[in-house]
Structure 1
Amino acid sequence: NLLLSRLDAELEEEKALRVKANLERIRLEVKREAQKLLAQAAQRQASETAAALAVSVVPIPSDAMKGRIIGREGRNIRTFEALTGVDLIIDDTPEAVLLSSFNPMRREIARMALEQLMADGRIHPSRIEEVVEKAKNEMKTFIYERGEEAALEAGVVGLKPGLVQLLGRLHFRSSYGQNVLKHSVQVAHLTGIMAAELGLDAALGRRAGLLHDLGKSVDREIEGTHVEIGVTLATRFGEPKEVIDAIAHHHDPENGETLYSVLAAAADAISAARPGARRESLEEYIQRLEQLERIALSFPGVDNAFAVQAGREVRVIVKPDRISDAKATLLAREIAGRIERDMNYPGQVQVTVVRESRAVEYAK
């Protein structure tokens, strides 16, 4: 068995090396055609969506700062993009750089980190790691504050800190182009008003309305529908049965056990149906980018994955101890094949596998 396992590993490595060699030869032969295809991909409809919805502009003190951000041989910009999962675009725009990502939380963390780096003046890979980590911690505080503000605006008191944190995450979540946190506050007001008119507990109605989409705060990290996740979270934090019922049945109120699920469903529909509240194209665009990342993360040896360039590229960070340079080429082909098989998309998607080995030691 040991001999067979060793032989299998050697054959796998040899196959990967041959695939890599053939790919290099093919790339040289079809370079002109590839450039044409990339030009077509750059004109995809999704790029227009990204320009309006997935780009943040960060002002810089002078154009000389652009060179410092890029760093020697591009080391700074590569480190920044790998740590944040955001595409940093540096072009001819005077005194400004662009941050591109479909995930608004990542984009905000990148903006905070970049502004701190420019203010500090020290821009190098190790400093970038420190500042990005600090920005992530500051983001947790920002999220909690947004949750507190939403609860205050909705007139809901007594929420546990963990629940407030989850609520604040909805600030960075959208559904068909509608901000979910603002939507939740609207639903809370509407549910409270209707509950009061019917002689029910208005405060309980507002609470049910505010938390009805709680599951959407983590539905991109946890398996299950936002309803199932929301019920689990509300139960864990000890929310009243009326609130849990409203979360569980705000899409099928006929199966609810209390009137609060009916009121939450009605308020949810009113908030979503108002003119200009939602755009289906944005939701489909976000779902496509999320699916790109899920496909890449499903392969063994993948540490992280980021969809960038409005979905024209997915960058895959692999574990260097599990994926060799040769196997990285094979992995890129396998991911591209899965994307072709499982997804519908305009143009083409570039799969970039990044493998980095790092040795760290401390002088004491």
Structure 2
Amino acid sequence: MELILIIGLITSALVVGGVVYSLQNKDADKNKGKDASQKEDAPTEDTSSSVEEPVVPLSQETSPQEPVKEEKTLEIEVKEVAEVAPVSPTPLAIDSHQLVREAKNRAKEILLEARDKALQVTNEAVEKAAQTRAEVAESEKTLAVTEAKIEAQREELKEKSETINATKEAIEKKKEELDQVLLKQKEKLQEVSSLTREEAREILLSRFDKDLQEEKAKRIRQLEEDIKKTAEQKSQEILLDALSHGTTDYVVEHTTTKVKLPDPEMKGRIIGKEGRNIMSFEKLTGVELDMDSSPGNIIVSCFDPVRREIGKIALERLLSDGRIQPVRIEDLVAETQKEIDHIIYKEGNKLCHMLGVYDLPKEIVSILGKFKYRFSYGQNLVKHTLEVANIGMVLARELNADVDVVKMGCLLHDIGKVLSPDGKGSHVDHGIEYLQGKGISEEVMACIKEHHGDKYSSIESALVGLADHISGARPGARSEDYESFSKRMRDLEEAALSFDGVEKAYAISAGREVRVFVEPKIVDDASTALLAREIARKIELEQTYPGVVNVTVIRETRIMETAR
């Protein structure tokens, strides 16, 4: 648009120049004659020298090619107009020259303006081109990002397509399997269609039972695993709690008692003439008096603690009375016997009340009172019975067993020990025999009978045996002298060695286990279980031992070859 304006200005300048040129021609025709005469008198001025102005070549401008060509053409036309017929020095000629000069100046101004406009247009075009290039570069960058996104989406679509194809294949496979199942079901239905209602019902119930059995087995296995995880910890907590309730103090009792002599001369008086006094005393009390073992003391010894206590008290009263003769000895022993019987009943009643038992017959209460004077391996039976009862009741409450049955079983489980002072036979058998017909329930009798066994008929019976074992096996609960301990070990080993095929036998764990080694050529694997049972039975019938004794039979075959 600006270029068209410039061309219009140049065209206007040319029109003005043409008008001037026509006016000059008219003046020239009128004054032709005058001009000829004047040419002779005065030389004609070279108007071209006065008209021409230095023109800046347009080729120096950094403008587009077409505007430069137009400017050159305009410059040539102006020159031609200026070089037309010379102007006369007349006023009219002077005006014409003035007009030409003004036209040339105007044309030059127009050219300068056109050049400025062209330069401005060029600069704007360059700026616009740079802006366009920047926009193109930004568009290319955006296009690259878009292409990257499109490529990522294409990859994602490809992966989704693969996943869909895989899922489709899996669905097809499942469909085929389902078709197979449906086909089998159709075959089964065809078979069932020929069955009666009862036959079909039986088939369905059998399948249902099978499924339930599998589910039941799974649940049982899971429950067993859960129980095994918690049973050990729970049992330890229960036993620790039971032991804390059953803790009692023990005083070790021996089979001898010392009585201090007030005067050494009393020793002779106690012996009496020809030993009549001491013989009468020993016969009435059933104890033995040792006058020489301990200077200044008389040692009263007896296996039966009740008789030993009667002898001790009677001897102390005899020494205090001073009248030492057979008649007086008989009176004092009788009085002491009555007092001891009263003490025994009182202690038995006290033991029952401590455990909350109030309905036992008096004769059983009197037998229980003898526990005060009865010791088993240094363990007092009263303390032992209380400990067993406390442990058993705690265990029974934890396991929801019958606490009353366990309590009564613990109270009476060792009653046979005071019924056989000589220690012969099994105290279990003595206790069962004595309690028959005394109003004791069958459950309690079973607890007493089975408390040293390995098979139990009820949970209450097992708890009584467990409580007794815990009390007896506790370190420090029982004590025995070295000789009796060694004898018991030898007896256990000899009982095992008495059977054929036994090579070696060792009593270990303080006599609580007998380990038996057999000859493999004589005793086979099938006979080892029978041999272990027979050895255990022999020990149970012939030996006296605390707690239980485990018998382990080991049959070992060694085959050796030598490589040369």
Q: TM-score normalized by structure 2?
A: 0.39
What residue identity is the alignment partner of 1:196? R
In the alignment, what sits opposite 2:297? Answer: 96
Aligned to 1:83: 284
Partner of 1:57: helix, strand, or coil?
A: strand
Partners of 2:304 and 2:374 lie apart in 1 by 9
1:204 pairs with 400, 405, 414, which one?
405
1:214 to 398, 401, 415: 415
The separation in 1 between residues aligned to 2:365 and 2:343, in whole angstroms, is 11
* CA-CA distance at 1:184 after TM superposition: 1.5
Amino acid of the structure 1 residue aligned with 2:477: A
- Which of 463, 468, 482 pairs up with 1:268? 468
Q: Which residue of 2 aligns with 1:192?
A: 393
1:229 is matched with 430
Q: Who is 1:156 aligned against? A: 357
**Do the aligned residues in 2 keep the contact of 1:176 with 1:283 (CA within 8 Å)?**
no
Q: Matched residue of 2:436: which SS?
A: helix
Where in structure 1 are there 5+ consecutive unaligned residues?
1-51, 289-364
| Native 8 Å contact 2:260 2:296 kept in 1 | yes
Q: Residue 113 of structure 1: CA displacement?
A: 1.0
> Whole-Å Cα distance in 2 between the matches of residues 64 and 121 of structure 1?
12
Partner secondary structure for residue 298 of structure 2: strand
Work out which of the residue numbers 268, 273, 278 in structure 1 matches 2:478.
278
SS in 2 for 1:88: strand
Amino acid at match of 1:103: D
Q: Residue 200 of structure 1 aligns to a residue in which SS?
A: coil
- 1:216 deviation in Å? 1.5
Whether 2:289 is the aligned partner of 1:107: answer: no
1:253-300 Cα shifts (integer Å, max 9, x gaps): 52x332111000100110001111223548948x99xxxxxxxxxxxx
Provide the residue aligned with 2:262 in structure 1: 61
2:344 maps to 143
- Taking structure 1 as the reference length, the TM-score comes to 0.58
CA contact (8 A) 1:176 1:282 kept: no
Q: Counterpart in 1 of 2:271?
A: 70
Partner of 2:76: none
> Aligned to 2:449, what secondary structure does the other structure show?
helix
Residue identity opposite 2:398 in structure 1: E
User: What SS is found at the alignment partner of 2:329?
Assistant: helix
Change (3 A) 1:222 1:179: closer
SS at match of 2:452: coil
Matched-pair identity in %? 42
Distance change (3 Å), C-alpha of 1:77 and 1:178: same
| 1:201 Cα deviation from its structure 2 partner | 3.1
Question: Aligned AA for 2:462?
Answer: V
Q: What amino acid sits opposite 1:187 in the alignment?
A: V
- Partner AA of 2:257 in structure 1: S
Alpha-carbon distance change, 92 to 100 in structure 1, aligned in 2, over 3 angstroms: closer
Contiguous gaps of at least 5 residues in structure 2: 1-252, 489-564
Distance 2:341 2:395 in 1: 34
Q: Tell me by how many angstroms 1:174 deviates.
A: 2.7
Identify which range, 219-228 or 108-117, moves more after superposition: 219-228
CA distance in 1, matches of 2:348, 2:442: 22
Contact 2:417 2:423 survives alignment (8 Å):
no
Letter in 1 for 2:309: E
Work out the number of aligned pairs and report it: 235
Higher helix share: 2
- Inter-CA distance 172–126: structure 2 relative to 1 (3 Å threshold): same
What is residue 123 of structure 1 aligned with on the other side? 324
Which residue of 1 is the match for residue 560 of structure 2? none
Report the equivalent of 1:166: 367
Superposed displacement of residue 214, structure 1: 1.5
Aligned position for 1:243: 444
**1:221 shift after superposition:** 6.7
Question: What CA deviation, in whole Å up to 9, does each residue of 1:27-84 have, x standing for no partner?
Answer: xxxxxxxxxxxxxxxxxxxxxxxxx822211123333332322223332122212322
Offset at residue 129 of structure 1 (A): 1.8
Deviation sequence 1:76-115 (CA, Å, 0-9, x none):
1222123223221224856532212233222111111112
Amino acid at match of 2:341: K
Q: What CA deviation, in whole Å up to 9, does each residue of 1:183-210 have, x standing for no partner?
A: 1121111111111112233233211111
Q: Give the aligned residue type for 1:225.
A: S
Is the Cα contact below 8 Å between 1:58 and 1:96 reproduced in 2?
A: yes
Q: Which amino acid aligns with 1:239?
A: I
| SS of equivalent to 1:98 | strand
Higher mean C-alpha deviation, range 262-271 or range 188-197: 188-197
- What SS does the aligned partner of 1:209 have? helix
SS of the residue 1:236 aligns to: coil
Higher-Rg member (1/2): 2
> CA 1:283/1:165 → structure 2, altered by over 3 Å: closer, same or farther?
farther
Counterparts of 2:371 and 2:404, CA distance in 1: 21
Tell me by how many angstroms 1:222 deviates. Answer: 9.7
Distance 2:301 2:414 in 1: 27
RMSD: 2.7
Q: Secondary structure at the match of 2:309?
A: helix
Cα pair distance change 1:123/1:274, threshold 3 Å:
same
